[in-house]
Structure 1
Amino acid sequence: MRKLFMGRVKGFRRALPLMIILVVFVGLLPSMASAADRGAWAPNVSYAVNDTVTYGGNTYKDIQAHTSLIGWEPPIVPALWQLVPGGGGSDTQAPSAPSNLQATGTTTSSITLAWNASSDNVGVTGYDVYRGSTLVGNVLGSTLSYTNTGLNANTTYMYQVKAKDAAGNVSAYSNQVSATTDVVIGVDTQAPTVPTNVTVSEITTSSVSLSWTASTDNVGVTGYNVYKGTTLAQVVTGTTVTVTGLAVSTPYSFTIVATDAVGNVSPASVAVTATTHTAGSGQLPKHILTGYWHNFINGSSNLKVSDIPSQYDIIVLSFADMDLTKPGGVTFNIDSSLSAALGGYTNANLISDIQAKRAQGKKVILSIGGEMGNVNLGSASPNVSNFVTSMSGLITQYGLDGIDIDLESGMNVANLTSAVRQVQQQFGSGFILTMAPQTIDMQYQTSSYIQLYNNLKDITTVVNVQYYNSGCMLGRDGQCYSQGTINFLTALSDLTLQWIAPSQLGLGVPAVSSAAGGGYIAPSVVNNALNCLATGSGCGSYKPVAKYPDIRGAMTWSINWDKTSNYNFANTVKPILVTLP
């Protein structure tokens, strides 16, 4: 505003000689020579030469006939007004507050107000109208009404008014008055339909992606409110969303509400739940297939890591051996007999193959334990330190993504927890940690494996329970189920899911009957069990207590054994993992 006013002043100064001539000429006209006291200065008023006005407590005399405009106030344009010395400056009294403010009329988009006049020792020059605390308009002189336009229909607004005088004194607020605009006749009052088929499409360590079937509306759906529990998480216009900023390994519930242009909202959709992945999930799919690769000969097929089919998402090298020279330490190499059987397959060849698999997005990790294997972590020092040093060295040497815990002969939970966490901290959030407890280890909540999982669940990618070599085991309903059946897989998984998050549980089964002493189940039945757990469909006589759409996947012992059936297990199970919700 300062720049605009100065521009106008400069314009008057450039025309000053002409103005002097006009003033002299006008001064010669008798009909315009007499002076008049015009009271307080106001815009849009025609002033004659020698008229006097008051402004800001001072008196000014007009020296050029003109019609006043906002921005031509007397102190600003000396080419129009001349200060009269001693002509005022003593008015410090504010007008009285306007009274009896009331709403005298409403439409769907406007409210008309009226009030009683204020009084002042000199004279009221106008009124300022406030909506709430915001100045929305002003009126001049003796006008005692104002219409506020551009409002929303069926909405309540609050108003107050202040009076002001020529000296700039301002009154207190008038009384407050509220008024509501009219309702639009025929307004849309019909809410959209409920969004349906809400599905979790992707999960990461910090986000959940959702999709749903669009709602319908008599006029049109304009958007969807996405709720995380009872909190509004996001507003979108389409039928997909990714909710970010979530905590790792944490369950969340989501609902969707449709909205239309006038604010009608649908009922909430059916809630869906999802558990974010742990820090060790990397870029793995939601549902994964894990397989073990042998670094030794055991009667199955021998194969190089480069020959492993792409269906396997996690490849577990088995097994690291106990270092007898360093308590707690581990070693790993290709067995000489396997190397010879593969035509001289060396550690260097293995390292090259591992990196090629990782370049394809696969994760390759090293397992400790096995049926006969173990690691000496019975003492904290120096055993834990030896484990951390040796295991970290192997991960670096072979370019691995993490480790697998397959200790079947007991463990020191506290020392193993400390050792694994120290290794993970060296490699960061991409570290993969898997576990392969036997079925018996999941029969009771106080087992060593459950304790280990509770200690490390924030960095655990998947717990693949070995559902074989087990005989008859108890399901969640307390009934004993025989291995090698769909009920065995679903009832025992339902039991385990009391303690392990669905997004961290996998079904471990033999690839072929020769791979285990008992518990083989056809890959097609494994698919039925996965579908039963995820969707509640295709179950046997046992019905899980809930649906687990986040079930992590399946594991097999082993990839080498799977090769003996031309990878029937991988070719059968991987396709259903892709289609699970």
Structure 2
Amino acid sequence: MCIKRVSSKFITLLVVLAMLISTFCFTFPVSAADRGEWAPYTTYAADDIATYNGNAYTCLQSHTSLPGWEPTNVPALWKAGGTAAVATPAFNPAPGTYNSTQTVAISCATTGATIRYTTDSSEPTASSTAYASPLTISATTSIKAKAFKSGMADSATASGTYTINTNVVATPTFSPAGGYYANTQSVTISCSTSGATIRYTTDNSTPTSASPVYSGAISVTKSTTIKAIAQKAGMTDSNVANESYTIGGSLQKRVLIGYWHTWGGDASGGVPFVKLRDVDPNWDVINIAFAEPVTPGSTTGQMKFAVTGLTSSYTINDFKADIKTLQSKGKKVVLSIGGYAGYFSLTTASAATTFANDIKGFINEYGFDGIDIDLEQTSVEFINGSDPDFKNPVSPKIVNMISGIRQICDSYGSNFILSWAPETFYLQLGYQYYGGLNSGCDRRAGVYIPMIYALRDKTTYVHAQLYNSIQVMGLDGKYYSMGNSEAVVAMCEMMLKGFHCGGNSNYFFPGLRADQIAIGVPSSQGSAGSGQISNAQLQQAFSTLNAAYPTLRGIMTWSINWDAFQNSNSFAKSNGAYLDSLQ
């Protein structure tokens, strides 16, 4: 027999491996236990139970596992069999102190396990009460729960105490309840806790001990959210109660809004001109597009308004008469300002006044019911990166535009309509990029935010243009392309819930009321470059939002003319009937 010489390096390597195995793989024993699912780099003691591929295995020798050492691969370390334990039950919400009755759910991660529980401090057994539905806890209660499953060891016992603070002031209640009301409402607030003081707010802020004291019925003359708390010495403050009241005045609860072109019928006008008297009766609000600057791109504030589709058989007097006829039928006719070609800026206070006076002249001459703001291009923009606080803007174009619009609104009564039609670039994009805060982005990103905030007391509704849009990030961090129900819901929820501007937690744009939101989409394939959505998907999105926000105002589209030309008015007929069904 020939014996080959073994090198000293190889012998050294064997010794090192032996030392590693003795120190790393076979560690000091720990107490045996059910270790759950097998995992590498885990220390197991003899008699531990681990689950692998749905089967239980018993550890034969203490060791720390490595990749590839699964129980099925290393019979020297594991044997099939053993009784794994059921997962320990979990409570939701977690045990703790609460100021009101709690509904407590008990769950178990082990599929098919039966949960049994006690509330008398005794240990749960297989004959204890079986958990079937969430428990209602109205007084301090200790719960113990255990899970059982045939072929597995019983779970560990979960226990927790729910302390219900009974020394808490009752939550205030409102009468009448929130909702849509055509006229002014007298709202009373009450609290069942004798001697409690009620404090309230109407600016969407949370009431505190410094808020006004409720002393009698509140007259709600415009759409308002009232929030209230009740306080009493020696007791915990009540929960905050809130109700939203939509005061419609002469505007109905749900509205279908369409833009009507003042032009059309020639080579440059695209779709044919439609006489105002011939618009489909399903339209509730007709936005007349557009009032424009005398000179595009000007800063003087001088404005013009003209209907260029007129003929000898349809004169300006016919147009004015049609406005009155539509209004007699309950329709609203609103003057839209701007548009893509009608861009202008107000850089001085005097320009803002000139703008306001010119627009008021058109309103008075034609009898419009309000104004719609559709500013595009460079009409408004930030001093890039140097105007971070939307509550206190300093950019001249923004400050003066706010002033001009407020001068107009202040000249008319509470039924005067102020609507906004920002592209997503000018509103929702402000969540990720805000031109006044983020110096590296476009100066117009989010530029409608300070205007809407400053004029939210005058704002009837906002119908952002969910078309001709880039992908926009929603509150969930996902990017949305327009033209589907998910995108519609995500973009509207940004306006309803509010968001931080430019990702900065110091600047939170608060959400609008649901009655201040309408969904804006194209009416036909030819009316916009993107964002088209079927009536069915649009109505699905509205229903989803309306379930959570039941006073959602309505639907807007560009445009009435395109719908008549390309759809035979099917957008108006389908969505008008849908909104009517929700009244």
TM-score by length of 1: 0.52
**Alpha-carbon separation, structure 1, partners of 2:182 and 2:453:** 20
Query: Are residues 1:330 and 2:303 paired?
Result: yes
User: 2:262 maps to what in 1?
Assistant: 295
- In structure 2, do the counterparts of structure 1 residues 513 and 328 end up closer, same or farther at CA, with 3 Å as the change threshold? same
CA distance in 2, matches of 1:495, 1:201: 22
Corresponding pairs, count = 331
- Residue 457 of structure 1: aligned partner: 456
For 1:398, the aligned partner's letter is Y
Contact 1:201 1:209 in 2 (8 A): no
Equivalent position to 1:250, from 224, 228, 245:
224
Corresponding residue number in structure 2 for 1:345: 314
Distance between the aligned counterparts of 1:203 and 1:522, measured in 2? 31
Matching residue of 1:573: 575
Q: Residue in 2 aligned with 1:500?
A: 512
Instruction: Tell me the distance in 2 between the aligned counterparts of 1:468 and 1:292.
Output: 14
Per the alignment, residue 435 of structure 1 pairs with: 420
- Equivalents in 2 of 1:502, 1:420: separation in Å? 22
Q: Distance in 1 between matches of 2:253 and 2:197?
A: 26
For residue 126 of structure 2, what is the aligned residue in structure 1? none
CA distance in 1, matches of 2:579, 2:417: 20
1-side partners of 2:538 and 2:178: how far apart? 22
2:413 partner SS? helix
- 1:389-538 matches, within 5 Å, as 389-410=357-378, 411=380, 412-441=397-426, 442-444=428-430, 447-497=446-496, 498=498, 499-535=511-547
* Inter-CA distance 230–533: structure 2 relative to 1 (3 Å threshold): farther
Amino acid at match of 1:276: T
Aligned partner of 2:48 in structure 1 is none
Counterpart residue identity of residue 248, structure 1: K
- What is the rounded CA distance, in whole Å, between the counterparts of 2:219 and 2:466 in structure 1? 36
Query: For 2:288 and 2:334, how far apart are their aligned partners in 1?
Result: 6
Q: CA deviation at 1:348?
A: 1.1
Paired with 2:222 and 2:449, the residues of 1 have a C-alpha distance of 19
Task: Kindly provide the amino acid, as one letter, of the partner of residue 274 in structure 1.
Answer: S
* Cα distance in structure 1, aligned partners of 2:191 and 2:523: 42
SS across alignment from 1:430: coil
Equivalent-residue separation in structure 2 for 1:473 and 1:418 (angstroms): 30
SS of the counterpart of 2:281? coil
Give the match's secondary structure for 1:507. Answer: strand
Which residue of structure 2 aligns with residue 44 of structure 1?
none
Measured in 2, the distance between the counterparts of 1:231 and 1:206 equals 22
Q: What secondary structure, in the 3-state scheme, does the structure 1 residue paired with 2:358 have? A: helix
What are the residue-to-residue correspondences of 1:266-285 with 2, within 5 Å?
Answer: 273-277=243-247, 282-285=249-252
Structure 1 residues 409-463: Cα deviation after superposition (integer angstroms, max 9, x where no partner): 2422211111111112222222111110001222225522111111111111111
- CA positional deviation for 1:206: 3.8
The alpha carbon displacement at 1:244 in A equals 6.6
CA–CA distance in 1 between the matches of 2:538 and 2:290? Answer: 26
Q: What root-mean-square deviation, in Å, do the aligned CA atoms of Structure 1 and Structure 2 show?
A: 3.3
Distance 2:469 2:357 in 1: 35
Give the corresponding residue for 1:18: none
Quote the residue 1:115 is aligned against: none
Shift of 1:393: 0.7
What is the CA deviation profile of residues 287-322 of structure 1, one whole-angstrom value per residue up to 9, with x for unaligned ones? Answer: 211110000113223211111122211111101121
Judged with a 3 Å threshold, the aligned counterparts in structure 2 of structure 1 residues 326 and 477 are, in CA distance, closer, same or farther, namely closer
For residue 284 of structure 1, report the CA deviation from its aligned partner: 0.9
Give 1:249 deviation, angstroms: 3.8
Deviations 1:39-58 (A, max 9, x none): xxxxxxxxxxxxxxxxxxxx
Query: For residue 403 of structure 1, what is the amino acid of its counterpart?
Result: I
SS in 2 for 1:563: helix
Q: CA 1:253–1:307 in 2, change beyond 3 Å: closer, same or farther?
A: farther
The residue type equivalent to 1:443 in the other structure is L
1:360–1:232 CA distance, 2 compared to 1 (3 A)? farther
Equivalents in 2 of 1:289, 1:439: separation in Å?
A: 20
Contact 1:200 1:208 (C-alpha < 8 Å) held by counterparts: no
Q: Answer whether contact 1:404 1:435 (CA < 8 A) is retained.
A: yes
Deviations 1:485-538 (A, max 9, x none): 111100111122113222111110000011000110011211110000011xxx
Distance 1:288 1:230, change over 3 A: farther
The answer as to whether partners of 1:207 and 1:276 remain within 8 angstroms in 2 is no
Deviations, residues 260-291 of structure 1 (Å, cap 9, x unaligned): xxxxxxxxxx98842434xxx54111121111
Matched, 1:360 2:329: yes
CA shift at 1:204, angstroms?
A: 4.7
2-structure distance, mates of 1:364, 1:316: 6
Q: Which runs of 5+ in 2 are unaligned?
A: 1-172, 201-216, 230-239, 381-396, 435-445, 499-510
Letter in 1 for 2:430: Y
Amino acid at match of 2:259: Y
Q: Which amino acid in the other structure matches residue 290 of structure 1?
A: I
Identity %: 33
Give the counterpart letter for 1:517 in structure 2.
Answer: G
What CA distance in whole angstroms lies between the structure 2 residues aligned with 1:226 and 1:296? 58
**Retained in 2: the 8 A contact 1:282–1:432?**
no
1:207 matches 2:179: no
Amino acid aligned to 1:390: D
- Stretches of structure 1 that go unaligned for 5 or more consecutive residues are 1-194, 211-223, 234-242, 256-269, 536-546
SS at match of 1:444: helix
Q: Residue type matched to 2:294 in 1? A: D
How far apart, CA to CA, are the structure 1 residues paired with 2:581 and 2:455? 29
Cα pair distance change 1:339/1:459, threshold 3 Å: same
